Amino acid sequence: MWAMIATWRMALEGITAGGEMLEHGAAAGEALEKAICDIEDFPYYKSVGYGGLPNEEMEVELDAAYMDGNTFDIGAVAAIKDFANPIKVAKRLSAESVNCMLVSEGAEKFAHKEGFERKNMLSDRAKIHYRKRVKETAQELRPYIGHDTVGVVALDQHGKMVVGTSTSGLFMKKKGRVGDSPISGSGFYADSTVGGASATGLGEDLMKGCISYEIVRLMKEGHHPQAACEIAVNNLDAELKKRRGKAGDLSVVAMNNKGEYGVATNIEGFSFAVCREGETPAVYLVKNVDGKCIHELASEEWLNNYMQTRMAPLSE
Ligand code: GLY
């Protein structure tokens, strides 16, 4: 059995390519790297890789992480600039026993020494979005809270599980701000003897519940991935509302080592992509109805509209 699940519709083409690799016996880590690189390279996604929206100083600072569910090796980069594929750097760092999470100039120095591809990640479309936002907000720049990180969980034919994330973080964030995506247990976690999970949404709140670790812990206790995702999201949402009066966006995907999966969200409009041995890769939309998260296949119309809106011409 092989399988792959990822946050958001944007992952469909990436996990389709990764799924083909898994079908032909590739290792989970190789398939996951391919899936996330495809998303990082696609210029029309505004929250991952090239085309990601910048911080308040108009710089694209990227976060990414990789975890091997067999060995618990973890590699992560945070606030890295000017490298095409942060996931590749994170995966390479996971081979290190120390210095495996690097930030900013340290991450860039490492990536340079290791020969990773340099690229100015600020696209013309991202510059237009930035200028529009500056005009809209006049003097007061605030981070834009809505956000789509890509998080992928993969299971290969040898039963190995890995997880990876990649994001440009919040639009208009402070320089140096780091979200949940490169933080173990928050943005991602994988244990091949159990399963893996990844999160997307407001990093500041996702980190308050170490939500990806919590989902894997719940699966280890015997919960199906769907129940584990719902318990983790509903509990964190309720705790945040009780203690702080509000909860940010919390959305998660998870898969166990049998290829069974689960998803949960506390927002409208969360989508995910999944491909499994013997099934056609597909996108689903998720709704939280009184704590139960149900998902339905995205219609052709929804899929077409998604791409049209992402790729529509922009004017200043
Ligand atoms: N979840 C991504 C971020 O908050 O940066």
- pLDDT tens, position by position, for the chain (316 residues)? 999 999 999 999 999 999 999 999 999 999 999 999 999 999 989 899 999 999 999 999 999 999 999 999 999 999 999 999 999 999 999 999 999 999 999 999 999 999 999 999 999 899 999 998 888 876 555 555 556 899 999 999 999 999 999 999 999 999 999 999 999 999 999 999 999 999 999 999 999 999 999 999 999 999 999 999 999 999 999 999 999 999 999 999 999 999 999 999 999 999 999 999 999 999 999 999 999 999 999 999 999 999 898 888 887 7
- Active-site annotation holds for 149: yes
Q: How many CA atoms within 13 Å lie on the side-chain side of 184? A: 16
Ligand 1 and 200: CB distance under 6 A: yes
Ligand 1 and 179: CB distance under 6 A: yes
- Cβ contacts of residue 29 below 8 Å, gap of 6+? 66, 68, 91, 154, 160, 162
How many beta carbons lie within 10 A of that of residue 242, not counting itself? Answer: 9
Ligand 1 and 248: CB distance under 6 A: no
- Cα(3)–Cα(136) distance, integer angstroms: 43
140 C-alpha to ligand 1 centroid (Å): 21
| Global confidence as pTM | 0.96
Helix (H) or strand (E) holding 313: none
Position in ligand 1 atom list of the atom nearest CA 168: 5
- Cβ contacts of residue 35 below 8 Å, gap of 6+? 4, 6, 11, 14, 15, 17, 18, 152, 154
- Cβ contacts of residue 69 below 8 Å, gap of 6+? 28, 160, 161, 162, 163, 190, 191, 192, 193, 196
23 C-alpha to ligand 1 centroid (Å): 31
Q: Which among 16, 71, 137, 149 is annotated as catalytic?
A: 149
84 C-alpha to ligand 1 centroid (Å): 19
245 C-alpha to ligand 1 centroid (Å): 20
pLDDT for the residue 313: 86
In the block, residue with structure tokens 């060995």 = 71
How many beta carbons lie within 10 A of that of residue 71, not counting itself? Answer: 11
Ligand 1 and 201: CB distance under 6 A: yes
Helix (H) or strand (E) holding 296: strand 292-297
